[in-house]
């Protein structure tokens, strides 16, 4: 009996995505490339820990290289980042084909729109690809809902366009370092999901509560 993928090596690992036993080599080389791995696969979890340990970030490839978001911003705008992260996770929940590259393309596009807005020019160029546009629109709705709830609850300090810009840039940059770059990779999405309790995803996006 041979591995159903390479048809050469003996199968040794149970693959939940294919519901078959495959060889270790195919598991390693095809993981999140041709195999759409579920988040609960133990081999996937182990590989991500290994990837993070040996990952070398190429700073020249990080989007918005001139923008450095300080830790103080992350602490101060935790709720805004949480709302945006939830929106991304909800988009992936509603469309199981969404992967990290879709999320990053949508984030970067909206961040660029806000960057021009805060520079005194209103110029918006939504993504043309349907999946990216859906995530882009969901993010915009999450921002509108967040601003509305902040106003209703009289949260101290208005949410400025520059804050939204920096939050989007931060999430884009974070995703670049958290994603493994594989075609079917969801390492960044799974990282974002880990910030929430599983039951939170049974709620509509607009029901996330300001803490």
CA distances from 168 to 59, 77, 111, 154, 181 (A): 18, 11, 5, 23, 19
Distance CA 52, CA 90 (A): 25
C-alpha closest to that of 87 among 176, 193, 175: 193
DSSP state of 101: H
* Helix (H) / strand (E) containing 13: strand 13-15
User: Which has more pLDDT, 152 or 29?
Assistant: 29
- C-beta separation of 113 from 80 below 8 A: no
C-alpha closest to that of 178 among 115, 122, 99: 99
- pLDDT at position 205, please? 52
C-alpha closest to that of 39 among 98, 85, 81: 98
- pLDDT at position 210, please? 43
DSSP state of 203: S
| 95-110 tens-digit pLDDT | 999 999 999 999 999 9
| 130-174 tens-digit pLDDT | 999 999 999 999 999 998 888 877 655 578 999 999 999 999 999
CA atoms within 13 A on the CB side of 14: 5
- pLDDT at position 122, please? 77
52: its two tokens? 């993070």
Distance CA 4, CA 13 (A): 12
Q: Which residues contact 57 (CB under 8 A, 6 or more apart)?
A: 176, 177
| 35-74 tens-digit pLDDT | 999 999 999 988 888 877 777 777 778 999 999 999 999 9
- pLDDT at position 24, please? 96
Distance CA 130, CA 43 (A): 32
User: Which has more pLDDT, 83 or 125?
Assistant: 83
Positive or negative, the CA dihedral 106, 73, 142, 206 is positive
pTM of the model: 0.88
């Amino acid at each position: 009996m041979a591995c159903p993928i390479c048809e050469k090596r003996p199968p040794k690992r149970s693959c939940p995505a294919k519901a078959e036993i495959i060889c270790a080599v195919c598991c390693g080389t095809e993981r999140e490339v041709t195999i759409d791995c579920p988040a609960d696969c133990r081999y996937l979890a182990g590989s991500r820990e290994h990837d993070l340990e040996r990952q070398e970030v190429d700073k020249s490839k990080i989007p918005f290289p001139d923008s450095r978001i300080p830790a103080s911003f992350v602490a101060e705008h935790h709720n805004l980042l949480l709302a945006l992260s939830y929106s991304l996770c909800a988009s992936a929940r509603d469309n199981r084909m969404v992967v990290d590259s879709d999320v990053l393309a949508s984030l970067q596009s909206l961040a660029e729109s806000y960057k021009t807005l805060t520079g005194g020019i209103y110029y918006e160029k939504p993504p043309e690809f349907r999946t990216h546009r859906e995530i882009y629109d969901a993010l915009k709705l999450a921002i509108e809902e967040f601003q509305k709830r902040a106003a209703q609850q009289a949260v101290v300090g208005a949410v400025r366009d520059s804050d939204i810009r920096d939050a989007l840039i931060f999430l884009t940059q974070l995703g670049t370092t958290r994603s493994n770059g594989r075609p079917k990779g969801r390492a960044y999405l799974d990282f974002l999901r880990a910030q929430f309790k599983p039951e939170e995803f049974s709620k509509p996006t607009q029901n996330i509560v300001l803490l």
